[in-house]
Structure 1
Amino acid sequence: MKNRAAIYIRLSKEERQQKQGSLQMQREMLERYAEEKGFSLAGIYCDDGQSGVDFERPAFQALMRDIEAGKIDILLTKDLSRLGRNSARTTDLLDEYFPSKGVRYISVNEGVDTQAESSANLIAPIANAVNELYARDISQKIRSSLYARMEAGQYIGSFAPYGYRKSNKEHGKLERDWQAAAVVRKIFTWASAGKTPAQIAEKMEQEQYCTPLEYRRSGMILRSQMRQYRWESGTVRKLLRNPCYMGMLVQGRTQKISFKAKRSKSLPKECWRVCMQAQEAIVSQEMYTQVQRMLAGRRRRPRGGWQNLFAGIAWCADCGARMSSAQSGGHHSLICGAYKRRGKDACSSHRLSYEALLEEVEDKIMMQLQTASVQKETMMGNLWQQLQAIAKTGQQERKRQQIYNKLRHLYDDKYSGKITEELFLQLQTQYEGELSGINGALALQIKMEEQWQCWKKMAERAWNPSALTREMLLIMIERIEVAQPKADLPMEITIQWKKRSRQESLLPNGLNV
Structure 2
Amino acid sequence: HNKQSNISFKNKKKVRKPQEEWYRVENTHEAIISEEVFQKVQELIASRRRKRRNGMTQIFAGLIKCADCGWSLAYGENRQNKNPYGYYHCSKNGQGLRQCSMHYIRYDVLYAYVLARLQYWSMLAQKDEDKLLKRLLNASDRERNSAKKKQAAELKKAEKRKAEVDGLFAKMYEDWSAGRITEYNFNMLSEKYQNEQKELEIKIRQLHETMEAAVQTAADAEKWIALMKQYVNPVELTAELLNTLIEKITVHEAVKSEDGSREQEVEIYYRFIGKID
Q: Normalising by structure 2, what TM-score?
A: 0.39
Structure number with bigger Rg: 1
The answer to which structure, 1 or 2, has the higher relative contact order (CA under 8 A, 6+ apart) is: 2
